Structures are given as structure tokens and as C-alpha cells.
Amino acid sequence: MVEPSSSSVAVPRGIGPTRAWFVRLPTQVPALALPVATAFLFLAAWQMIAVLGHISAAILPPPTMVLARLTENFSLIMKHTYPTTIETLLAFGISIPLGIVLAALLVYSTVAQQALYPNIIFFQLIPKIALAPLFIVWLGIGPSSRITTVAAPRSSRIWTCTRRWAYGAS
């Protein structure tokens, strides 16, 4: 006989809450197994295409080669992970308040909107990949150009969303 329970899965009598996870396991396994199996099949197909397709490793390195290079250069990768993370967080920390302040300025000031809005739209039309060399020339090679390359386009996206929200909320 099956006891009624609050969960959607019926728990057989005699199985307490400590063993109830075993009853729900078959419904949870596909949720985990399907993405893992898909990733495994993707990696296996990539390996077979790279090796059996006689494709140069410079064009399409097999995943085993990628893993070997990652393990060889792990200390170098970790050395650069910390500064990259800090620069990324700093860029987003600059772009979010900048975008919100710019949106508030454009929403609540007609003069500011007339003066800045056309220039901001023009700035958004410039391909982001074209901005990176300009920032490097203007700011030099270093953290300031990398932070600006991330912060400038993001702040324009943030002000766009904030501005739309402000107009929709009012």
C-alpha cells in the first residue's frame, strides 16, 4: 500500500524520509545524464573528426591535445586568471553605475537627452572589435585599456535597459 505524501512521487509504505531520495532517483537521473551524455558524445565526435578526418591540429586540435596543453600550462593560466577576473569585475563595477547614471540623466533631462542621445547611438553603431585598438592607442597596453574595452560597451547596454525600464515604469 502506498502512503499519501506531499511530494509528487508516491513513497511506498515503510520507506521513511531518509530513503525517499531513492524513489525519486529515476526521474532525476535523466536530468543529469542527458547533458553529460550529450557533452561526452560531442567530445567523442570532435576527437573522431579531428583524428580520422586528417585535419591539421592547427586548424582543429583534438580535445585530448587541448587537455594536454591545459595541464602543461595550468600554472601560467592560473597566474593570469586572477588579474583577468579583477579587471572584468572592475569593468562591470564601472559600467553598471555609469549606465544607470547616464540613463537617469537622459530620462530626466531633456537638454541632456538632446545633447547626448545622438552621440551615444553613434557610439553603439561602431563595431566593438574596432574600439579595442582605439582604446589601446589612447590608453596604452595595460589594464586601463582592457577595462575600458569591457566597460564602455556594457554601460551603453545598461543605460539602454535602464532607460527603457524608466520610461515603462513612469
Q: Does the pLDDT of residue 56 top 70, yes or no?
A: yes
What integer pLDDT is reported at residue 170 of this predicted model? 52
Q: How many residues does the chain have?
A: 170
User: Residues 54, 78: one domain?
Assistant: no
User: Residues 128, 159: one domain?
Assistant: yes
Of the residues 61, 86, 112, the one at which a domain ends? 61
In a domain, 67, yes or no: no
**Spatial distance between the Cα atoms of 125 and 111, rounded to a whole number of angstroms:** 22
Q: Does the pLDDT of residue 123 top 70, yes or no?
A: yes
What 3-state class would DSSP assign to 6?
Answer: coil
Return the DSSP state at 59. Answer: T
Return the DSSP state at 10. Answer: P
Give the number of domains in the chain: 2
In a domain, 105, yes or no: yes
Residues 6+ apart with CB under 8 A from 163: 103, 106, 107
Q: Does the pLDDT of residue 69 top 90, yes or no?
A: yes
Q: Does the pLDDT of residue 19 top 70, yes or no?
A: no
Q: Write the pLDDT tens digit of every residue in 20-52.
A: 555 555 666 677 888 899 999 999 999 999 999
Return the DSSP state at 58. Answer: T
In a domain, 68, yes or no: no
